[in-house]
Amino acid sequence: MNDIEMARFDARMTKEQKEFFEYASKLGGFRSLTEFVLSVVQSKAHEIVEEHNKILASKRDQEIFFDLVTKETPPNDALKSAFQSYNSQF
């Protein structure tokens, strides 16, 4: 049947927090507070991971760019051609 292994998560909160979350859950059309909390937490977790991955990618891109700029590697044919094409426009 269902091979998904389940785990339990408990959280303590004030009565006011619980009531507020339950109210938001009902407004959002969720069947339960648990469904609401899991949905919101998963959504926020995805945002955090995506932002983190963007930062890593941009740092990686910076490293690649500066490695190429600082090394004394001669330009390849494609770069020479692009340079000539650019210069011919002016």
The answer to whether residue 67 is domain-embedded is yes
The answer to whether residue 46 is domain-embedded is yes
Measured from the Cβ of residue 88, the count of other Cβ atoms closer than 10 Å reads 7
The answer to whether residue 19 is domain-embedded is no
Give tens-digit pLDDT for 1-49. 578 999 999 999 999 999 999 999 999 999 999 999 999 999 999 999 9
Residue 52 belongs to domain spanning: 24-88
Give tens-digit pLDDT for 52-89. 888 878 888 888 888 878 888 888 999 899 999 999 98
Contact 33/21 with Cβ under 8 angstroms? yes
Question: What's the confidence (pLDDT) of residue 49?
Answer: 95
Question: What's the confidence (pLDDT) of residue 45?
Answer: 97
Question: What's the confidence (pLDDT) of residue 1?
Answer: 59
Contact 28/36 with Cβ under 8 angstroms? yes
Comparing CA positions, the residue from 25, 44, 47, 27 lying closest to residue 35 is 25
The answer to whether residue 3 is domain-embedded is no
pTM exceeds 0.85: no
Q: How many domains does the chain have?
A: 1
